[in-house]
Chain A
Amino acid sequence: MTEPRGANATESPLQRESVLTIYEKSRDGRRAFVAPHSGVPERSLETLLPTHLRRSEAARLPEVSEPEIVRHYTRLSKRNFDLDSGFYPLGSCTMKHNPRLHERVAALPGNARVHPLQAPRRAQGALEVMWELEHALAEVSGLPHVSLQPSAGSHGEYAGLLLTRAYHEDRGDQRTKVLVPESAHGTNPASVVMAGYEVVRLDADADGNVDLDDLRDKANGDVACLMLTNPSTLGLFDPNIEEITRVVREVGATLYYDGANLNAILGISSPGAMGFDIVHFNLHKTFTQPHGGGGPGAGPIAVSDRLEPYLPRPRLTRVQSSEGWVYDLDDNRPKSIGRLRGFQGNYGVFVRAYAYVLSLGADGLKDASETAVLNANYLLARLKERGVVEYLSSAYDRVCMHEFVLSGAGMKRELGIRTLDLAKRLLDFGFHPPTVYFPLLVDEALLVEPTETETKETLDAFADAIAEILREAREDPEIARNAPHTTPVRRLDEAGAAKRPVVRQGF
């Protein structure tokens, strides 16, 4: 296992250097950029741009040399923990390995330097990538019609709700409410409001499933849509899924599947098979787009026949010609909700996702989900075996899917350390902590998602580290309470940051 490092660990000077911003390193006259000569007959700037339109005060961008830029950002990068360096079991985020082949193919000039307004006839390769990815996503989701346009999961949710609105209004049906379980991602209720709907919260039953009585009570002709994550953010597959979708369908509402947890069911089940109308994919979760410290991602949606007419514009089309398939973009979609963003979506992300689909294939995708579920259950079993559940109880005593929730309530009570303390102490052991304090309905929650790309040895080491932290806390809870000890900075004054926000460099 990874050796724990305590309060007296040797500090790396690089990690603990006092940080300056790039602006504070700026010195008058330094530079990296050398402007090309214009090479054209020049005219006075006053002639080209009237004085009142010209910038009067320069933007205070830094003045630094290229070596300084490289060193500054290289040193900053070393103050990050990243997936390539260690285990990152952040629940609901699917931190699986990011194959570097994808970076290589995305960077090919035939992808990276294609202008989005290039005529479709001169971008046939790009449109074929998009077509093939649409097909793969339709296949995986069991829903036949795909729009790649949304830029991230929440953007896909928003799109799905606008489709829902268009669908109902097209039928002359005014509906106002959207059902959202308590355990849903925060994006669900936020998207509902952005789409102009009202949130109705659904309760969970004692097993963590949707409370069917509550659902039956709340499902009525006012309900436009149900948004559901299955497996839920508790890592549990709702065995009543058929009944849930039946009840909702009966009142004429649409069914939205939050695809954040799709990594559990590839090739095993699908939103379409469960009876959903709409799903979004997080290509940055399930399909290996690197997270980039908070994006870019992409949130394509797949939908059932009844919602197809309303999909965002433009749609991708293809026709057979003597030279083979010809792909095009079709803006003539009278019932479409319209555009959600510029151009064709995050194409660079599509390239990576499609490369992933090609690499894994039908067999590999199913393997990935099975292994993800195996790894999660193994880690849970391993934690139980290490006696961890005495303090970190499994929130629901069931087989989990690709992730599971522990409650730190016992640990807090017995050992006097909170989930937050455990998370911070894990940093000293070289692990990224799981998601903490989510889902909200579990006290002191810890949501653990190991993913399929981790080895048994890594899972063992992680279980050992948690056991060690609990052992250590029995002797001296202060170590965890004051953790982390070895990171570039220690716990931060977050309240102060919010109270007196400093959100930019002062000059």
Chain B
Amino acid sequence: MLRAIGVASIEQLFADVPPEVRIRAPLDLPLGKPEQEVYERMRALADRNVSCEDEISFLGGGMYDHYVPAIVDTLTQRAEFLTPYTPYQPEVSQGTLQVMFEYQTAISELTGLPVSNATLYEGPSALGAAAFLARQHHSRRRFLISRGVHPHSRETLATMSEGWRMRVDEVALRDGVTDADAFADALSDDVSAVFLPLTNFLGAVEDLAPLLDLAQAAGAVAVVTCDPVTLGVLEPPGALGADIAVGEGQALGNRLDFGGPSFGFFSASERFLRRMPGRIAGETRDVDGRRAFVLTLQTREQHIRREKATSNITTAQTLNAVAAVVYLSWLGRRGIVELGELLLQRTDYARTRLAAIDGVQLLHEQPAVREFAIRLPVTGVDAVRRVIDTCCAHGVNPGHPLGREYPEFDDGLLVALTERRSRHEIDRLADVLGAALATPHVEGNGRPPAGAGKELAR
């Protein structure tokens, strides 16, 4: 090969790299390993994590341990979906393009808004993308966001707004939901966009229609965040008067993966179609009149428009969208309603069981589909963590302590369900949590009791 090139050594191919910018020493990394040794090393690392396979987990807060049907694995692992690039050559990418089109339809149907893109990175950055759209849409200087929106989304919005010189005002919660009076007071004609949660971080279903009416009247872009799995039973953002719906899509057929990759969804009213970020697949015909799909409205995008693009995104989460569309087909029109109703019933049962524990109170009494918050009879987030540790030692992870994100609820515990959490497991949670609260805790060392979990055994 060198002879064909006309050089004597590979080194000559790097002649343009000046000696001053060369790396002298070899990289400080181990030498390569055979496949089986890499597998053993990776498995040993994975064994040091406590997964939802190892404990009964009630963790939620944006990602959920749903059952992912086997066909999702089968289909997403097909090389034809797994290994191609973005479908720039539509003649040989009809599979991916049609999946994108079907995905857009599903998201559009779920959220009740007419158009959807073909994924963004994940939930919080999807909210950030909606903010960028609003910021480009008009010159107003304020965002209004409910304190019930996921803390990571609020932080992401704050990060992004900094560069845009936008002010972000937070609307407080009252009785577990966005304070309607505070929202009305904060709204004015300098508000670019409002961000409201259909189900908030505390698990409460919010009554958004009146707030969205106010936002529309004030001319703000009305953005609603939602948990897609709840949309089988909840009136969707579009029907409530939202302009844009965004959220974390992991619950739709994607793994937990310690936080990613998943996908963010983004749907909108028709008037924002040409301002949407991300890829969009559209239907068309080929020269022979055959039905076909293609990336469309590309003049919104960075590779054509450069600094005038509606977003900088290129690689998004297409394979995760394949998982979502397979999952939603598997659930089907009736299944997503049945799943929502099942979650409502089990959540209600879990709430009742936990509220019956001595000293435990519901943090709010709002309706909840699959997640709710309680207050424990202990003081401070560290004490809540110790209770959690005790439960974990008995094989039950009772949920997420609220204190860091919500210091006002430093005795709070966020408990989430999926269809995988059976009545038996809920009963076990109630028993273990009750017992943990009945046992006095050693203050101070922050360590779980002896034998807690497998992390100490290793």
| Residues A293 and B114 in contact, CB atoms below 8 Å apart | no
Question: How long is the Cα–Cα vector from A331 to B155 in the complex, in angstroms?
Answer: 12
A62 touches B75 (CB 8 A): no
Determine the distance from Cα of A394 to Cα of B247 in the docked complex, in whole angstroms. 46
Interface segment among B139-147, B180-188, B339-347: the answer is B339-347
Which listed residue (B150, B160, B296, B326) contacts A503, Cβ 8 A? Answer: B296
Minimum CB–CB distance from B134 to chain A (whole Å) comes to 13
A387 part of interface (Cβ distance < 8 Å): no
Q: Mark A334-378, 1 if CB is under 8 A from B, else 0.
A: 000111111111111101001101111111111000100111011
Q: Does B408 contact A (CB under 8 A)?
A: no
Which residues of the partner chain B approach A464 to less than 8 Å between Cβ atoms? none
B27 x A19 contact (CB < 8 A): no
The answer to whether A62 touches B422 (Cβ under 8 A) is no
A interface residues, tally (CB under 8 Å): 205
Stretch from A157-165, A248-256, A405-413, A465-473 forming part of the interface with B: A157-165
Distance in Å from the Cβ of A206 to the closest Cβ of chain B?
15
Q: Which residue from B73, B74, B273 sits with its C-beta under 8 Å from A501?
A: B273
The CA-CA distance from A435 to B397 in the complex, in Å, is 49
User: Assuming the A-B contacts A267-B26, A342-B123, A501-B297, are A347 and B283 also in contact, with contact meaning beta carbons closer than 8 angstroms in the complex?
Assistant: no
Tell me if B216 is interfacial: C-beta within 8 Å of chain A: no
Task: Verify if B41 is at the interface (C-beta below 8 Å from A).
Answer: yes
Residues of A within 8 A of B306 (CB): 186, 189-190, 199
Interface residues of B in 130-173 (CB under 8 A from A): 132, 150, 152-153, 155-156, 158-160, 162-165
**Is the pair A489, B33 in contact by a Cβ cutoff of 8 Å?**
no
Cα distance, A375 to B285, chains bound together (Å): 38
| B318 CB, nearest partner CB in chain A, Å | 4
A40-B345, A122-B453, A343-B258 as given contacts; A61 in contact with B83, CB under 8 Å: no
Q: Which of chain B's residues has its CB closest to A97's CB?
A: B83
Which of A38, A194, A373 meets B13, CB within 8 Å?
Answer: A373
**Cβ-closest chain A residue relative to B29:** A362
Q: CB distance A64 to B426 under 8 Å?
A: no
Q: Which of B20, B33, B316, B328 sits near A61, CB closer than 8 Å? A: B328
A115 adjacent to B17 (CB under 8 Å): no
Whether B286 is near chain A, meaning CB under 8 Å from some CB there, is yes
Expressed in whole angstroms, the Cα–Cα distance for A342 and B322 within the complex equals: 21
CA distance A36 to B152 in the complex (A): 32
In the complex, per-residue mask of B306-329: 1 if CB is within 8 Å of any chain A CB, else 0: 111101111111111010011011
From A83, A354, A373, A501, give the contact of B296 (CB < 8 A): A501
With A and B bound together, what is the CA distance between A82 and B153 in angstroms?
A: 35
Q: Are A53 and B207 within 8 A (Cβ)?
A: yes
Q: A40-B345, A291-B83, A489-B91 are in contact. Are A355 and B42 (CB under 8 A)?
A: yes
Rounded to whole Å, the gap between the CB of B322 and the closest CB of chain A is: 7
Pairs of residues from A and B, 5 with the lowest C-beta to C-beta distance, nearest first: A110-B46, A292-B319, A343-B259, A125-B48, A116-B259
Known: A341-B152, A399-B7. 13 other contacts (CB 8 A): A76-B95, A80-B96, A81-B89, A98-B83, A108-B46, A116-B260, A118-B397, A194-B312, A268-B23, A291-B315, A341-B260, A362-B31, A498-B282
Q: List 28 A-B contacts (CB under 8 A).
A: A23-B105, A32-B69, A38-B346, A39-B346, A59-B231, A61-B332, A79-B94, A80-B93, A80-B95, A90-B88, A110-B53, A116-B259, A122-B50, A122-B455, A157-B312, A197-B163, A269-B21, A273-B22, A274-B21, A290-B319, A293-B319, A296-B318, A313-B155, A343-B260, A348-B258, A432-B92, A503-B282, A505-B102
